[in-house]
Homo-oligomer: A and B are copies of this chain.
Amino acid sequence: MKVVVDAFGGDNAPLEIVEGAVLAVQKNKDLEVILTGKKEEIEKILNGKEERIEIVDADEVITNNDKPTEAIRHKTNSSLVKAYDILKEREDVVGLVSAGSTGAVLAGAIMKIGRIKGISRPALAPILPTKQESDVIIIDSGANVDCKPVNLLHFALMGSAYYSIIYNKENPRVALLNNGVEEEKGNELVKETYPLLKNAPINFIGNKEGGDFMSGKVDVMVSDGFAANALLKGTEGAVSAVLSILKKSIKSHTLSKIGALFMKQTFNELKARIDIQKKHAGSPLLGCKKLVVKNHGSCKRLNICASIEQTMLLHKNKLVEKIEKSLANLEKAEVNE
């Protein structure tokens, strides 16, 4: 199975990206990776470890300062555009991984690969830990700030299909982010969305509040990208605030400093559970015709490796086909109504 990786996207490119690809081919014997970017630099990092790694030279780089659409159109020799060209043209390449500019990755997906019929915009669905054992995804996490009810319906279908594959869980629990749990609660958007989700072929468990996000009671939280971003960033900020208050207090009391030494195991566990991003894959652009996985700009080799492996998993389990099928079922249901 072949995956193309944009070796020059992200803050830690190319070193961490290339090393992530090396890790992935070492772990997966059926994997081949194509790296796009400055050939010489990539070769230097590979330093002979190029088994099942192909390099496609690309001497331009798209940055966060570039306007996404223009960059995709004009920086034709950039590592990202080259990667998209390969994904588009080569049938045996099943997906693309990039940690580059979100806007450019999104623009490239739409312009070069195209959306699944019926989906107006691809969505991102990052993963967060909960206080139970399970994880939760939120869709859309910020790509679409002004949404219509039908967009949220598509997010729900796509998020459900995605979650069911990555956690091997039939009928994940899909909730609508709201400011109250009652059916009649919410702004105009969610009030109009509620009946659509109720009738959709998903396990819709109703409205949930931001406070339920990390409770373990929800698998897929559906929201417009604006409120989702507030929730997601607020959650991250709150976790960091608690840890920062804790650290400061430990430093200022001798007894606490001693106690902290005994608690190393607990702090490591907490960190491992909370810093889920550390080892995790990025988020696919759900709704594209081929698999595109977007990593956080600051990601490291473990994330890139995880994203490549996620791409393989999503391909094997036919994510794109599953989304197409659930959209078709939806249309049939509407026709029958």
User: Contacts A131-B245, A226-B187: A250 and B237 contacting too (C-beta < 8 A)?
Assistant: no
Cα(A266)–Cα(B264), bound, Å: 15
* Interfacial chain B residues near A215, Cβ < 8 Å: 237, 241
Q: On chain A, which size bracket covers the interface? A: 35 or more
Cα(A239)–Cα(B298), bound, Å: 24
Q: Is the interface of A mostly helix, strand, loop or mixed?
A: helix
Question: A293 on the interface (CB 8 Å rule)?
Answer: no
Minimum CB–CB distance for A138 against chain B, Å: 10
* Interfacial chain B residues near A250, Cβ < 8 Å: 263, 266
Minimum CB–CB distance for A141 against chain B, Å: 9
Question: A89 on the interface (CB 8 Å rule)?
Answer: no
Q: Per-residue 0/1 for A208-221: is the Cβ within 8 Å of any B Cβ (1 yes, 0 no)? A: 01111111000000
Most interface-central of A179, A241, A256 (chain B CB within 10 A):
A241
Minimum CB–CB distance for A244 against chain B, Å: 4
Q: Interface-forming stretch among A9-17, A227-235, A317-325, A326-334?
A: A227-235
Cα(A122)–Cα(B193), bound, Å: 27
Minimum CB–CB distance for A322 against chain B, Å: 28
User: Contacts A237-B214, A261-B259: A249 and B266 contacting too (C-beta < 8 A)?
Assistant: yes
Residue of B nearest to A187 (CB): B145
Question: A30 on the interface (CB 8 Å rule)?
Answer: no
Q: Interface-forming stretch among A75-83, A149-157, A268-276, A305-313?
A: A268-276
